Chain A
Amino acid sequence: MTSSTVSSPLPSARAQRRRMLRSADRSRNPFRIGGAILLALVFAFPIVWTTIGAFKPSSEANASPPVWWPSQFSLQSFAKLDSSGTSLLSYVLNSSAVTLMTVAITTVVAVLAGYAFARFRFPGKRVLFGISIGMLLVPYPALLVSLFTVMVWFHLTNSLFGLALIYSTFQLPFAIYMMRNSFESLPAELTEAAELDGCTKVTALPRVLLRLVAPGVVTVALFAFLAAWNEFMAALVLLNDNSSFTLPIALMNAQNGPLNTIDWGGLQAGITVTMLPCIVVFILLQRYYVSGLVAGTGK
């Protein structure tokens, strides 16, 4: 405020006008606000209902008609997801392993490739970039048939590492594109200055540039996390041993219980464990999600 009174009247008038426009953009319509809040509650209801359901004692989680509020909060449902006796924790660990590997591989590979595409000239560059973008036009469920055969060749079926390699590969189009844009938005003088300080073009990456593209790296990691944690179809096809199942597969199996009996409490506990990390991570990193979306939609 004080600085605007000191400086010339023009910017202050402009600031005032901007404030005016901003307040014109503010809605005080109670129907709009009420409607928006109501809609948000409707959207949140399934999430809240399931989370509460996960903490109901087993008898109340499976009660018909459903019990709205548990008489006491219990962790009973988290103990057993299915009749196989494998605990929910082991599936959480499997999913975490696949997700961590995917995030690590995707970010490292995409940072290197993004830097190469943004700052280096090399033969085949346009072909490689073209293929990585062209991948977006080929839906990956269509490739699962042959991907399964390829994984048999590489002895990577039933392997969480093999799954992570596939997830990383199919994250690359977005990740490389995102990282290339991040590197291109840095001024070229920066690399030149680093080279004068004794870096090579390659060592300038970890020493100088990496910190500056960190927001892009977070975005790439976030998208890789959500994709790997939630992926279902490839895991369904490639994993065939209960001990290596990821959460989505384990949940699906819990739903196909023996003799069609489903422990709804256990299922809700499993769903809660699967969905809450995504929601929490998204809320913490919203900003990066939006910037990824902005990059993706070409604004």
Chain B
Amino acid sequence: MSVVQHATDAVTREHSIDTTRAREDAAAVTRPSRPRRPAAPSTHRARARRAEARSGWLLAAPSAVLILLFFVVPFCLTLVMSAFDWPTFGTPKPVGAANFAHVLSDPKFGQALLFTVGYTVVTSVLGVAASLGMALLVRPRFGGRTAVRALLFAPVTIGFAPAGLLWLSMSNVRTGVLPAMAVALGIVPPGTDWFANTGTTLALVVVMTVWKTAGLAMLVLLIGMDSIPQEVYEAAKLDGARSWATLTRITLPLIAKPLSLVILLTVTTTFLAFDQFFAMTKGGPDNSTVTVVYYLYNAAFVNLDRGYAAAVAVVVVVIMAVISVAQVRLQRGKDRA
């Protein structure tokens, strides 16, 4: 989901718009009232304003209802549930902070968190590096560039669940084409089941994730690179800059903003990974690939421990908020420097 990247930007942009609007309002107040309409307009204008407010609310109402019913209510309910023992049938019992104590002391949650962080770091580093390399590779014009870009991007449009199953069908020990190729090249002995071993299982999920997500990051970086004026590169060339210097001194600093967005996007989507593990590993072998969201799913819909799962959900929300805020802080600091 290409979601989180909008958040920070939208908030900052909204802020700037609001300040200009506030300034206009202030100007309107201090401006002397127009001489042509002396007494009547105040009620007239108030009526027009009320009519505008009514229309505005009518237009915004459908979105407000949807957001209230399917976001605000569940959000508040999650907070409430996290303080209860919430059985599928029967009345919930308040348990205070016991659920949270349980989450934080459960070694399985710690293991899932550790695994998810490791998976996120590895996938993000590889994914961002791959997408940056891809963007640099396909940035200049050449014959067939559009087709090449479209092919690199195509996997992005496939969902994680079908993409995971696709890679499962390509790498399963019986009919998979990848093991067959590896055997033909003499890399692995015949009959090697990559899904029997945690290392190779994880490697496959990481490769699949990079394959599926790198195109999106590449496109965001290309948009950033396209906004760098060509004259800058011309000037650098005249100054005798080599390609490495051009990359580190010009391209990278000038795409710092899209690059940090890409990093935030990659980190948040990989941290919330679920579909690809459900499709490819089912958390195995031996529960070694259970991510945080997978743990949440198991708690809520396999063990049916809803109150406990809600507490896990709150912890996940807090972790995500910390990641986003840290990223925004980092970005602000960079902008000021």
Residue of B nearest to A274 (CB): B162
| B138 and A36 within 8 A (CB) | yes
Given A36, A139, A290, which contacts B137 in the complex, CB threshold below 8 Å? A36
Residues of chain B within 8 A (CB-CB) of A142 are 78, 296, 313-314, 316-317, 320
Q: Does B177 sit at the interface, judged by CB under 8 A?
A: yes
The 8 A CB mask of A111-151 against B (1 = contact, 0 = none) is 01101110011111110111111111111011111111110
Residues of chain B within 8 A (CB-CB) of A44 are 151, 154
The 8 A CB mask of B66-103 against A (1 = contact, 0 = none) is 11011111110110010000000000000000000000
| A293 and B175 within 8 A (CB) | no
Given B60, B165, B309, which contacts A128 in the complex, CB threshold below 8 Å? B60
| A21 and B160 within 8 A (CB) | no
> Which B residues, 13 to 49, have Cβ-Cβ distances below 8 Å to chain A?
13-14, 18, 49
Nearest Cβ in chain B — how far from A271, in angstroms?
A: 5
Nearest Cβ in chain A — how far from B139, in angstroms?
A: 8
Given A112, A134, A236, which contacts B60 in the complex, CB threshold below 8 Å? A112
| A169 and B223 within 8 A (CB) | no
| B160 and A230 within 8 A (CB) | yes
> Which B residues, 101 to 146, have Cβ-Cβ distances below 8 Å to chain A?
134, 137-138, 140-145
Asked if A37 meets B148 with Cβ closer than 8 Å, knowing A149-B77, A149-B306, the reply is yes
> Which B residues, 208 to 237, have Cβ-Cβ distances below 8 Å to chain A?
211, 215, 219-220, 223-224, 227, 230-231, 233-234
Q: Does B189 sit at the interface, judged by CB under 8 A?
A: no
CA–CA, A276 to B313, complex, Å? 34
Interface stretch, picked from A2-10, A171-179, A206-214, is: A171-179
Asked if A143 meets B313 with Cβ closer than 8 Å, knowing A112-B63, A255-B165, A282-B154, the reply is yes
Residues of chain A within 8 A (CB-CB) of B230 are 21-22, 24-25
| B73 and A150 within 8 A (CB) | yes
Nearest Cβ in chain B — how far from A48, in angstroms?
A: 10
> Could you tell me the dominant secondary structure of chain A's interface residues?
helix
Q: Does A157 sit at the interface, judged by CB under 8 A?
A: no
- Is the interface on chain B under 10, 10 to 19, 20 to 34, or 35 or more residues? 35 or more
Q: Does A286 sit at the interface, judged by CB under 8 A?
A: yes
| A146 and B81 within 8 A (CB) | yes
Given A21, A136, A268, A270, which contacts B6 in the complex, CB threshold below 8 Å? A136
CA–CA, A112 to B60, complex, Å? 6
Given A168, A226, A267, which contacts B165 in the complex, CB threshold below 8 Å? A267
Residue of A nearest to B64 (CB): A128
Nearest Cβ in chain B — how far from A107, in angstroms?
A: 12
| A113 and B161 within 8 A (CB) | no
Chain A positions within 8 Å of B, measured between CB atoms, are 21-22, 24-28, 32-33, 35-37, 39-41, 43-44, 46-47, 49-50, 53, 61-66, 68, 105, 108-110, 112-113, 115-117, 120-126, 128-139, 141-150, 154, 165-166, 168-170, 172-174, 176-177, 201-202, 223, 226-227, 229-233, 236-237, 247-248, 251-252, 255, 262, 264, 267-268, 270-271, 274-275, 278-279, 281-283, 286, 290, 293-294, 296-299
14 further interface pairs, Cβ-Cβ under 8 Å (given A146-B78, A275-B158): A27-B141, A33-B143, A120-B55, A122-B52, A139-B320, A143-B313, A145-B310, A169-B71, A172-B63, A230-B160, A237-B300, A252-B279, A282-B157, A293-B223
Chain B positions within 8 Å of A, measured between CB atoms, are 1-7, 9-14, 18, 49, 52-60, 62-64, 66-67, 69-75, 77-78, 81, 134, 137-138, 140-145, 147-148, 150-163, 165-170, 172, 174-177, 180, 183, 211, 215, 219-220, 223-224, 227, 230-231, 233-234, 258, 261, 268, 272, 274-275, 278-279, 293, 296-297, 300-301, 306, 309-310, 313-314, 316-317, 320-321, 324
